[in-house]
Amino acid sequence: MKFLQFSMLLLPILLDALLSFSMGASYHEDFLQCLSLRSNDSTSISNVVYTRNNSSYSSVLESTIRNLRFNSTDTPKPLVIVTPSRTSHFQATIYCARKHRLQIRTRSGGHDYEGLSYVAKVPFVLVDLVNFRSVDVDAENRVAWVQAGEIVGEVYYRIAKKNRTLAFPGGVYYTIGLGSFISSRGFGLLFRKYDTGGDNVIDAQLIDVNRRILDRKSMGEDLFWVI
């Protein structure tokens, strides 16, 4: 078996360490207005924003909740859910959350049994990566670029469609979210020979608190190691 060196495009990873702000009172209407003003296409971003008055709010919020303990009436809910479909949506969300003192929780749709990606004790915005799930496999160079909203089972499938002799050391459970799997150094059946999934990431992209898109070179080796 040849091994697929897994270059990863983790574009939608929003680092909690960079996006945890001092909280204060804020109205989500101000946040929504800010999103509209900061987005290059206000119509587009309005299609991926859900408030508690939206009929789809509950279904979007509950779509990947694995532990029903965090789906009770007492569970803190996000003021707004954003399901970005383009990079500018992330950048606008980061700017407006910071301006209006809202924390960001980022969810990649995998095995979050503790509710850490969609529950907070302070006013917060949920960024759901459901629309960032592309997989681009370059079988010739044995490299794959994958967005952080993907799950490992779909990555396996996309790799196999391109080449039946390539593989990636992902997790045992196919529904694990790739973003958290990589950032938490997840391991699987190929671990002993090929190390963890994170050990095989040769590049990554992220959006920092200043809305800059950074790759391995521009973020520096220390930050790359951290993520």
> Structure tokens of 77?
């809910």
pLDDT at 25: 42
CATH no., domain 135-226: 3.30.465.10
pTM of the model: 0.82
The lowest-confidence range among 15-24, 170-179, 195-204, 213-222 is 15-24
Domain boundaries, the chain: 16-128, 135-226
- Residue pLDDT, tens place only, 40-57: 665 588 889 999 989 999
Q: Model confidence at 26, in pLDDT bands (50, 70, 90)?
A: very low
| d(C-alpha 194, C-alpha 5), whole Å | 10
> Is the pLDDT reported for residue 193 higher than 80?
yes
Give the best-scoring range by mean pLDDT among 108-117, 177-186, 217-226: 217-226
Q: What's domain 16-128's architecture?
A: 2-Layer Sandwich (3.30)
- Residue pLDDT, tens place only, 103-123: 999 998 778 888 888 999 999
pLDDT at 42: 56
